[in-house]
Structure 1
Amino acid sequence: MSLFGSPGFWNMLTVTAIFVSASVAFQMLLGFVIALLIDQGVQRGLKATIVTRTAVLTAWAIPGVIIGIIWSILYEQSASGILNYIFSSVGLVAEALPFLSDPDLALASVTAANIWRGTAFSMILIYAGLQTLPRDVLEAARIDGANALQRLFRVVIPILAPMLFINLVIVTIETFNTFDMVLALTGGGPGQSTEVIALSIYNKIFQQFDLGVGAATAMLLLVISAAMTTVYIAFIERSQGLE
């Protein structure tokens, strides 16, 4: 049987595309915002920045299976579930939300958990990049009358662009290979609504014993990862050649 004609293949690709694009976009956005806030807090001598960094890094250190279990507890679909209780207490919902049993909500819920998990890595890279910013350039922009937003978009982001691109590639590769958290959280269900490509490989080979389609899907993931890695290596070599 052809891989492209196998049942559920195109649905799996669609789920993976939504999962990866949303995860990468929000991980980088939130990582950038948190890194900026921590950098500003450090410059102002705020002690709370240590607590913030510790809390964010904890999410990165926890194994994916444990994260899946933690979020499954948060997503408990009864009225006594943690998130459902909070939402009902503030009047956001009238009844318990089926976080993991509704196909659309399940994909959004898994993506939200992955964003929480991966934001720390983006924050680390971006915060490290912020420490390398030439302060004299920022000070010159401030003296020239540039406000905070102008300094951000015309000075900070252009200087950090190479590092942001590297962050984008690494986070994309990692998200494509996400497996353990989704397995622990939903197992790919309900149906195949959260079956990303790495989990599909596991299900095909070890659950359905469809070795041919499973191996072909694994080769597809290998090609995607190899292509992204090639882009990363080429960018690094080009950057080093320009120095």
Structure 2
Amino acid sequence: MATTANPASRTRPPRPRAARPAAPPGASAWPWLLPLGSVLLLVLVYPVVEIVRLSFTDASLVSGEPYSVTAQTYTSLLAGTDFRHTLQVTFLFVLVSVVFQLLLGLAAALLIHAAERRGLRGVVATRAIVLTAWAIPGVIIGVIWSLLYQETGAGVLNHGLSLLGFSGNIPFLSDPDNALVSVIVANVWRGTALSMILCYAGIKTVPEHVYEAARIDGASAVQTLFRVTLPMMLPILTTNLVLATVETFNSFDMVLSLTGGGPGTATQVLALDVYDQIFRQLNLGRGAAMAVVLMAVNILVIALYVRLNEREEKQT
């Protein structure tokens, strides 16, 4: 019995793609880049050049006298004990914050990945809740933690400690030593979210068959972590380290709303000191010099990151 072929099953020849129109002779991409380049020059390059120029002056809006070009600003800045104290507070704040952000973010990512592999519920909701801490603006985070740190019986933390049997209210923000620790805790809570997301993305890049091979070879969970997971997600960890360091060096909004740099200068980080010098004390020269120092630190961290990436690419 003869069968008729189905017309729909016949293969149709591919349609030829329309050829792209050739660019006219003498065409250039510069007219399309000029608007973006103009915006970058206006909002990025010009402010940086102006800050560097002001850093070599003694400009001030308080004196009302014409400023003069001088390098005395940097000399007095480096020789002053207040600036050295600010640098000490800043580096301690950055070091402790970044270390705990990376460790807690990695631990949270490992727990979420393990729960996902076991098919547990609530993994997506947990990721969304943790990410919320990163999405909240720093000023609001400072206000929230200031409510938690209230030094009366109505404070959330002090009330909780009283229920556990601790007597007396802990001066979280009025004591200089406790204030810096309290600010670091709030900043770690804020930065752990981004660290968790980056570490989770790095864990997902490890192929599943690598874990299967490690399991067949008899590797324990700790051996798999240190010999498989961490080495394979090393580029992500490096990126995480740089982003956390740069963000922590430039954080001032949370500290501003939480302690304002106090008590005294116990929590006066460098970015907050720049803000204080320029917008409160109206000392443009000194504030600009501090901003240049902060910018130099950021450039140094980014240059180190680029150098490490180039070395890894050469090795691979």
- 1:92-151 per-position Cα deviation (integer Å, ceiling 9, x unaligned): x31111111000000000000000000011111110011110221211111111111111
Aligned to 1:185: 258
Aligned to 1:226: 299
How does 1:26-105 map onto structure 2 within 5 Å? 26-91=100-165, 93-105=166-178
Aligned to 1:235: 308
Aligned to 1:3: 77
Counterpart residue type for residue 146 of structure 2:
S
Cα displacement (A) at 1:239: 4.4
Aligned to 1:13: 87
Cα displacement (A) at 1:46: 1.3
Which of 192, 198, 201 is matched with 2:271 structurally?
198
- 1:58-115 per-position Cα deviation (integer Å, ceiling 9, x unaligned): 0000000000000000101101100100111112x31111111000000000000000
CA contact (8 A) 2:205 2:233 kept: no
Distance 1:30 1:81 in 2: 26
Counterpart residue type for residue 242 of structure 2:
V
* 5+ long unaligned stretches in structure 1: none
Distance 2:309 2:136 in 1: 29
Query: Is 2:216 the partner of 1:143?
Result: yes
Which of 6, 23, 47 is matched with 2:97 structurally?
23
Tell me, what secondary structure is at the counterpart of 2:150? coil
Which of 233, 241, 244 is matched with 1:171 structurally?
244
Tell me, what secondary structure is at the counterpart of 1:47? coil
CA contact (8 A) 2:206 2:232 kept: yes
Q: Cα RMSD (Å) of the superposition?
A: 1.4
Cα displacement (A) at 1:205: 1.5
Distance 2:249 2:258 in 1: 17
Distance 2:85 2:308 in 1: 32
How does 1:123-142 map onto structure 2 within 5 Å? 123-142=196-215
Counterpart residue type for residue 185 of structure 2:
A
Distance 2:235 2:124 in 1: 27
CA contact (8 A) 1:201 1:214 kept: yes
Cα displacement (A) at 1:50: 2.0
Cα displacement (A) at 1:242: 5.5
User: Rg: which structure is higher?
Assistant: 2
Distance 2:314 2:217 in 1: 33
CA contact (8 A) 2:255 2:267 kept: yes
CA contact (8 A) 1:6 1:213 kept: no
Equivalenced residues, count: 242
Aligned to 2:3: none
TM-score, normalised by the number of residues in structure 2: 0.74
Cα displacement (A) at 1:234: 3.2
CA contact (8 A) 1:110 1:182 kept: yes
- 1:203-222 per-position Cα deviation (integer Å, ceiling 9, x unaligned): 11122222222111111000
Cα displacement (A) at 1:165: 1.3
* 5+ long unaligned stretches in structure 2: 1-72
Distance 1:242 1:151 in 2: 23
Aligned to 2:233: 160
TM-score, normalised by the number of residues in structure 1: 0.95
